[in-house]
Structure 1
Amino acid sequence: MTTSAPPEKPRELRDFYEDPAVPVASGTPRSLRQARMLAAAIGTGAEKTPRTILDIGCGDGSAAAVAAPLLKGHRIIGVDWSQDALRRARTRLALTPVRGELTGGGLPFKDESADAVLFSEVVEHLVNPDAALDEIRRVLRPGGHLMLSTPNLAAWYNRALLLAGVQPVFSEVSLRAIHGRPGKEVVGHLRLYTARALKEFVAASGFEVVRLAGAPFHGVPRPLRPLDRLACSRPSLASILLLHAQKSPARKT
C-alpha cells in the first residue's frame, strides 16, 4: 500500500511577497518611460520647488533608482509592505524606504502631503484596488500626480493566445505554479486591466486621466521585441499600460 504526500499548504499572500524568490522589480524600459512622464509633469527640483514623490510598492527600489536622475532635487520615498523588499531597497541611495499598507489609512503620511505617486506594477496584485486608490488620493495634494503602470490584459499577443484557447500572459490561477499560460515565474497577479477598464477605474476613483501610454515587456521573446516596441504606439495593444492622472478637486460620485 502506498500513500501520497500531503498537499502543500496554501501560501498566504503576505508569505508569498516575503519570499526572496518572488520578483519585486520590473523592466528598466517601463520604469524609464514612467519617470519621463513624471519629469515632464513636475520638472526637476532645480527648476521648481522640490516635490515629495512616493514610490508605493517600491519593491527593491530599482524603479526609483531609474527615476532619480530624471527627478533631481525632488525627494523620493519608497513604500512597501514587504520587509524583504525594503531590505533590498535600503541598498539603493535613490530613495528613503518606509513600511506601509494601502488599506485603512495604512500609509504613514498625512493627508495631502505628497505631490506625486509612482504606482508601478502594484494594482494587479491587490485584493482591494478601490481602497488603494482611496488611500493614494488621501495622501496626494489637490492636483497631485498619479503615475500608474500595470500589465495589459489585451496586449497584442494575449489577443492571439485567447483565440487559441491559451491562458493570457500576466494572468495566474495559482500561487504555486504556472498553469495554462507561457512563462516560468509566479508573480501573484490578482487583477488585470484593459486600457479602457483602467481609465474608467481611475476616473471613478477621483482622478482625471491626463495620458495613457504603452511600454514594452521585458519577458517578450527576443525575436518578438521589435513588434512589442511597435505596439507601444497603440496603448490598447501594448504589453504595459502607463497612465498619468491627477487628483480631482472633488471626489466624483
Structure 2
Amino acid sequence: MTTTPMKPPELRDFYENPSVPVASGTPRSLRQARMLAAALGPPVAGREQTVLDIGCGDGTAAATAAPFLTGHRVVGIDWSQDALKRARARMPYAVRGELTGGGLPFRSGTADAVLFSEVIEHLVDPDAALDEIRRVLRPGGHLMLSTPNLAAWYNRGLLLAGVQPVFSEVSLRAIHGRPGREVVGHLRLYTARALREFVTAAGFEVVRLRGAPFHGVPRPLRALDRLACAVPSAASILLLHARRT
C-alpha cells in the first residue's frame, strides 16, 4: 500500500511509481471488512458513522468493504496523487493526507473508525502515525489494522534454513535472499506479540487479533495457509482490532 511521504526523495519516487503494488489480497480485505462491520454495528437513522481508510492506495480494499458498510461514510486518504486518482474511480471520497502531526485533514475526535490496511510496514515513523490516528478517532473509536506477520508459519522454516523471511526487504531495487518477485517497500515487520504491545503503548486497547491468508502463497500451499489462520501468531497476515482509550 502507498503511505505518507518518506525521506530521502528516492522513497517518495518509489511510492509514486504506478507499477508498485497498492492493493493486497481480497481474503484479507473481506475478513477485515467483516470485523469492522461487526464493531460498528448496523447504521442508525440520522447517525452516519465516518470510516477513514488511511493509506487507501487504489481503493480496492474500500471497494471490497463497501457492501459491509452500507449506511456509513468511507473516506479514502493517501499521500500518493497517483493512488488517489485510481481510488476515486472506486470510492466516492478520496483526499490527500499525511500521517504526521496534524497531517490528516480531519478535526480531532471526529472519526468513528480507521482502516489501516497494509500500511504500517511501510512507515519510517509508525509511532507518529498511530499518534495521528488516535488524534482523529473519537474516544472508543475503532482501529482496524492489518500487516504481514514476520512470524508466519513459513517464515519460521525459512529462518531456520538461513533464508530471508517473506515480506522482508533489503533493497528497493530488487529482491535479495528471499522468495518472491515484487519489491513493495516494506521497512518494518511485526510479530503478533510485538504488534499488540506497540498498539497498546500508543493508547489503544486491543479487542481482537485474527489471522488472514496471503494471496502470494503458492497454490499448493494455500490450504495450509488458510488453516494457519486459526492460530493468528502463525498466520500470514495479522488483523488487529483495537479501540482508542
Tell whether the structures are fold-level matches, with TM greater than 0.5: yes
Q: Name which of 126, 129, 133 aligns with 1:129.
A: 126
What 5-or-longer segments of structure 2 have no aligned partner? 1-7
Q: Name which of 218, 221, 233 aligns with 2:218.
A: 221
Give 2:37's aligned residue.
39
* Deviating 4+ runs (over 3 angstroms): none
Give 2:27's aligned residue.
29
Deviation at 1:214, TM superposition (A): 0.1
Q: Distance in 1 between matches of 2:11 and 2:131?
A: 21
Q: Distance in 1 between matches of 2:52 and 2:198?
A: 21
User: Deviations along 1:31-70, whole A, 9 cap, x unmatched?
Assistant: 0000000000112325783200000000000000000100
Q: Name which of 223, 231, 236 aligns with 1:234.
A: 231
Give 2:49's aligned residue.
51
* Percent identity over paired residues: 81
User: Deviations along 1:70-93, whole A, 9 cap, x unmatched?
Assistant: 01000000000001100100111x
Q: Distance in 2 between matches of 1:210 and 1:49?
A: 24
Q: Distance in 1 between matches of 2:146 and 2:211?
A: 9
> Is 1:53–1:118's contact at 8 Å kept on the other side of the alignment?
yes
Give 1:246's aligned residue.
243
Q: Distance in 2 between matches of 1:66 and 1:48?
A: 25
1:151 aligns with 2:148: yes
User: Deviations along 1:98-138, whole A, 9 cap, x unmatched?
Assistant: 00000121101100010000000000000000000000000
Q: Name which of 83, 86, 95 aligns with 1:85.
A: 83
Q: Distance in 1 between matches of 2:58 and 2:70?
A: 20
| 2:54 alignment partner AA | I
User: Deviations along 1:168-213, whole A, 9 cap, x unmatched?
Assistant: 0000000000000000000000000000000000000000000000
CA RMSD in angstroms comes to 1.2
Q: Distance in 1 between matches of 2:150 and 2:144?
A: 19
Give 2:65's aligned residue.
67
Number of aligned residue pairs: 238
C-alpha spacing 1:33/1:95, structure 2 compared with 1 (3 Å): farther
C-alpha spacing 1:46/1:194, structure 2 compared with 1 (3 Å): same
With structure 1 as the length reference, what TM-score do the two structures score?
0.92
Q: Which protein shows a greater Rg?
A: 1
> Is 1:156–1:237's contact at 8 Å kept on the other side of the alignment?
yes
